[in-house]
Amino acid sequence: MSEATLILVKPDGVARGLTGEILRRIEAKGYVVTGLRMLEADRELLAAHYAEHEGKPFYEPLIEFMSSGPTVAIRAEGHRVIEGFRSLAGTTDPSTAAPGTIRGDLGRDWGLKVQQNLVHGSDSVESAERELGLWFS
């Protein structure tokens, strides 16, 4: 049974011209891109997407950052793609994300209130279904 996940190239990734490199890594791994769109996410979409983080110290900076420019939303499919893409992305903090991962190879800490770490990937089947509904409705 195939599985689908939501991947976002965040505004820092788009602004740095890394959309192609990130798509390349997803496809090179063997996952199939079955949806692709570029959009400027509004506050309503971002509040729904990041509802679990409301009230945290980085929440407002996160919403502001994610509103700062276009995002590329990707629907990717494959057996265990949710776990597999999280592994490709690397850990949240780009300073310590393992080399070989998207965040480890291409990201760094810019000393801001929120980590600009290039990509988002859904973290469970439930999140993936919810998030794909938000970004590809």
6 burial level (CB within 10 Å; 0-12, 13-18, 19+): buried
The minimum distance between CB 137 and ligand IDP, in angstroms, equals 21
Q: Does 5 bind ligand IDP (CB under 6 A)?
A: no
Residue nearest to ligand IDP (CB): 92
* Whole-angstrom distance, CA of residue 26 vs CA of residue 19: 11
The minimum distance between CB 39 and ligand IDP, in angstroms, equals 18
Q: Could you say which of 45, 114, 132, 134 contacts ligand IDP (CB under 6 A)?
A: 114
Query: Residue 60 corresponds to which tokens in the numbers above?
Result: 């407002």
Query: Residue 33 corresponds to which tokens in the numbers above?
Result: 């891109």
53 carries an active-site annotation: no
* Whole-angstrom distance, CA of residue 72 vs CA of residue 9: 5
Residues that bind ligand IDP (CB under 6 A): 53, 58, 62, 92, 114-115, 117, 120, 123
Could you give the residue numbers annotated as active site? 120
